[in-house]
Structure 1
Amino acid sequence: MFKLDTSTAALGFQFPQHNVILGKGAPEYYGGMTQEIGYRRWGLQCFFTFSHGGHLLWTESVTSHSFYSIANSVVSMLDRYTPSHTSSRSPRLDLDAPLSFPTNLDVFGSPFFKLRSLVLNYQLSQPDLKIKTAIKALRLFVSATNLFTITEVSWQRSGDIRRRL
């Protein structure tokens, strides 16, 4: 992977600088927490996960540097250098460019805090069932997964790139 010189973005190319460490894939620390709360017959279980530090290489960002055949592209392809949009960190789009290689423009920070699962349940006992059955207790529940994510990188929330390292 190369670190690129962004000062040449207006010219449509960038010079690679070899042997540069762009980031660490593994986070500094990560973990999870499960919390259960009960009140009478109601129960609520939450499972949270988190990660801090680390970087990731996003391949969709790599493919947005040039068009490939008739494949679909991401919206970030439109956020390129143009004479009227000089504040972009991405080089101008070159339709004749060869296949792209990963660069520092494709490396993103990866910290997050996520609510992985939430389970709400209600427990019924045999007298509550109002029928004669061999069932001594019954638990009804509703479950949801990946309810929200808190992160600095907006494409993890919405599918679009807004912040790079």
Structure 2
Amino acid sequence: PTEQRVRAGFGYVPQDHPVFARLTIRDNLAVGALTNKDSRAVDRVLEMFPKLGQRLDQIAGTLSGGERKMLAIGRAMLSEPSVLLLDEPTEGVWIGVIEEITDRLIALAKEIAVVIVEQHLDLALRVADHAFVLDRGRVALTGTADEVRNDPRLLQYLAP
């Protein structure tokens, strides 16, 4: 069950519908902070994603795709996970926001384990220490991010 996974230290950001669209940013964060005893936890999320702090009373469903992803990542971090699972964190996100999300994920990956399923190769390899390239559901390449980035076979999997 979800609550056991959260207690076990897993944070999850789904690909689709990552926020409670009818709630405000403030309320989405409050839901994420329900089990967090640290009164500064929400403040740290707002430091991570300052755009959210500028519009706490905005309905989450009116945010851009990138802002929704930021909110979902922030909300997941409020459970203080030791492992953060992200499913396509940049799908439908404007390139400028992708850079902001990438920078935050690089910082988070220094503190906790971050597992990303991502088609945006540059982001994935900038965040990752270790990478797996899947081809039709099977691991086709694996190694450090640099090894995978420099593997000549990578191109055959990206553009078969």
> TM-score, normalised to structure 1's length?
0.22
More strand by share: 1
Name which one, 1 or 2, has greater alpha-carbon Rg: 1
More helix by share: 2
> TM-score, normalised to structure 2's length?
0.22
